[in-house]
Structure formats: C-alpha cells, structure tokens
Amino acid sequence: MNILWIKDGKQGHEKQVKVLIDELSKSIDINLIEQNYKTNNFSKLNHYFHYLTNNFFNKNNEFINLVNKCNQNNINLVVGAGSSVHISMLLIKKYFNSTYQKNINLVSILVPSLFHKHFDVICAPLHDEKKLTNNENIIYFQGSLAKVSIKDVDENIGLIALGGVNKHYDFDEVSLLRQIQYILTLYPEKKWFLFSSRRTPKNITKEISKLKNEFSNLTISEKGFDNILEIASIKFITQDSVNMVYEALSTRGKTYLFNMNSKKENKITRQMDLLITNKQIGYIEKINMAEGLDKIKIKSQNPYHEVFSEVEKVAYQLIKKLNLDSK
C-alpha cells in the first residue's frame, strides 16, 4: 500500500495521523510519502470555486508536481487531518483521476469543512457526529486518536501536563498553581515531570519554576513527553488539552483532570464531563467550605478502567472498509 500523507504542520493533527499509519503498518505493508502542503490562504468560497473549475490546476506548478509524484509512486491512498489540507486532498483526487484516469482513496482524519461525501472515508470523533448525519463513509472514535501503550508503569513517576488559554475553559493561573502545589504535597514520594504547551502563559511557567525551590521532586521538562506518559503511574491534565487527555487514557496508570470552570457548554466540555460521569477519568474536586475558602480533594476514576484503544479499532475498520490487503 502506497500512502501519501498531506501534513499541515499542526502537532495535534499530525500525531493522530501518525499513530493511525503506525497502527495500519502492523497489518499491511506501507510505503509512506510525507508532504507539507496547505491551502490555508483560501476562503471557503475559493475552496468551492477551485474544486469546481480547472483554474487552480493550470496555475499551480507545485500542485501539479505533487500529483505527478503521486502517479510516479503509484499512490493508492491519500490521508490528512485539518481543514487546511482537506481541499488539497480533493484537488489531488480530481486532477489525478482526470489526468491519469486512475482512482485514489481519500481518508480524512477529523471532519472536513466541505464536500464530506467526496471523501472515501472520514475518521471522526464522536463529539462531531452531528456534522455528519446520513453519511455512510464514517468511522467514529472517542476523543482523539492516540498511541496505545500497555507498558508497566513506574510507581515513582508522575506527570503534569498543562494546556493554556483556550475558548472552552477559564485558564485560571492562581487556581491551577494551587492545584499543582496540592499534587506535589499529596505525593511527595514521586518524581514529577511537568510539561507545558505553546499555549501555556509565561506567568504561570515562571511561578511553577519557583516551586522547584520548595519541591525538589519537581522537574520541568520540554522533551520526552511521550516516554514519560507511557510509564507514569499517575497523570494530571488540564481539561482544555483534549489530545493529551486521550493520550493519557491510552496508557496504563491513573489519569486525572484539573478542576477548571467552563466558559460555556460545548462539545469539548460535554466530552470531559462524560468522561468524569462515566468514571473513565478522575478529577480534582473543589468544595466550597465558606466564602473565599475552598477544599481540594481527589476523585478517582474506576479502578478497573481499561486502556483506551481507539486507534486500533479505527485501523481495523479502515482496513475492512477499503478492502486493504493484510500481511
């Protein structure tokens, strides 16, 4: 199977595509070609126009070279995630078919903004189900696609992962800092690795750095997130970091959510609430004792929870849907 992966440069998108390709490679032989190519400067109107006309084909040499590359490498399938690459995928399929009279399958990870039925398969999170009514080319998964790990955990290691300013939750730096102090105090015997993201405000990272003077068991890390995640016996994740939440749930060990106030109810906040309600994840609970006085305590997930394996399910269904040859 010859696969072209169109990349948009966004880590959250590319990690999901990569884990799916890695999972597919366990069952089928894959020759992978990776290509950075975006049409993020197009409006939706331009997307529609270029897809219905041949103007784009005649003026974009980079695009034509990419299609020729597909033919030279006998590409069978094109995969990508993110709205900025979906139109590229559709244009490739259309031009490839008209120029070489060949067909290639398009697999979209996440929901395309346009032309849903023109993709051969869409792998979509369940919280986007309303966007895809009456489509038969859908494979649903919960949350996001993440690498599955059943490695034994190290009881001496814990992980803290922070997102940042977002449209779903209030990123209350004072509250989060207090919760981090609580975690470090509650588990003094563990070595804690704290990871921030590009969205994490500089103010809170400065304050966390000061905690190292009080807690010698705290390490602020920039690299090695995936390795620590696999072996950490306990993980605390901010609720805005959906990909990190599901990456944590796809490994052994306990996973907890930081306490955060939602700005409004939406598909992301409902998804986090559902995980808590079903006890698939633990969380930090804040109890108001009196005005200006809160008590913090840990609410655990179901001790018999199973490691999430959404990417394994998606890969299996994709192989069946496209009749891909197994090894």
Task: Assign residue 188 the CATH number of its domain.
Answer: 3.40.50.2000
Q: What is the chain's Cα-based Rg?
A: 22
Band of the pLDDT at 47, cuts 50, 70, 90? low
Helix axes 83-100, 61-72, angle to 10 degrees: 60
Q: Of 155, 210, 160, 153, give the one whose Cα is nearest residue 184.
A: 160
Q: Quick check: is 29 in a domain?
A: yes
Region 264-289 average pLDDT: 92
Q: Quick check: is 104 in a domain?
A: yes
Residues 142 and 159 in one domain: no
Give the whole-angstrom CA distance, residue 51 versus residue 48. Answer: 5
For residue 12, the enclosing domain spans: 2-146+310-321
Non-local (6+) Cβ contacts of 57 within 8 A are: 63, 64, 91, 95
| Percent of the chain residues past pLDDT 70, beyond the cut | 90
Q: Quick check: is 305 in a domain?
A: no
What pLDDT is stored for residue 18 in this prediction? 97
At residue 41, does pLDDT exceed 70? no
What pLDDT is stored for residue 209 in this prediction? 92
Residues 275 and 316 in one domain: no
Residues 194 and 292 in one domain: yes
Region 35-64 average pLDDT: 60
At residue 40, does pLDDT exceed 70? no
Residues 131 and 158 in one domain: no
Which residue type is seen at 35? Q
Strand partners, 30: none
Residues 220 and 283 in one domain: yes
Non-local (6+) Cβ contacts of 266 within 8 A are: 168
Of 28-42, 130-144, 262-276, minimum mean pLDDT range:
28-42
Model pTM score: 0.89
Residues 110 and 211 in one domain: no
Give the whole-angstrom CA distance, residue 8 versus residue 82. Answer: 7
CA 192 to chain centre: 23
Residues 42 and 91 in one domain: yes
At residue 184, does pLDDT exceed 90? yes
| pLDDT tens-place string over residues 281-307 | 999 998 765 556 678 899 999 999 899
Q: Quick check: is 304 in a domain?
A: no
Mean pLDDT of the chain: 89
Residues 133 and 246 in one domain: no
DSSP state of 173: H
Q: Quick check: is 236 in a domain?
A: yes
Residues 294 and 174 in one domain: yes
| pLDDT tens-place string over residues 191-235 | 999 999 999 999 999 999 999 899 999 999 989 999 999 999 999
Do 73 and 3 form a contact (C-beta atoms < 8 A)?
A: no
| pLDDT tens-place string over residues 53-105 | 555 555 567 777 888 888 889 999 999 998 878 878 888 888 888 888 888 99
Q: Quick check: is 327 in a domain?
A: no
CATH number, domain with residue 22: 3.40.50.2300
What pLDDT is stored for residue 94 in this prediction? 83
Residues 10 and 121 in one domain: yes
Total tally of structural domains belonging to the chain = 2
Residues 287 and 179 in one domain: yes
Residues 179 and 257 in one domain: yes
Band of the pLDDT at 21, cuts 50, 70, 90? very high
What pLDDT is stored for residue 30 in this prediction? 95
What pLDDT is stored for residue 57 in this prediction? 53
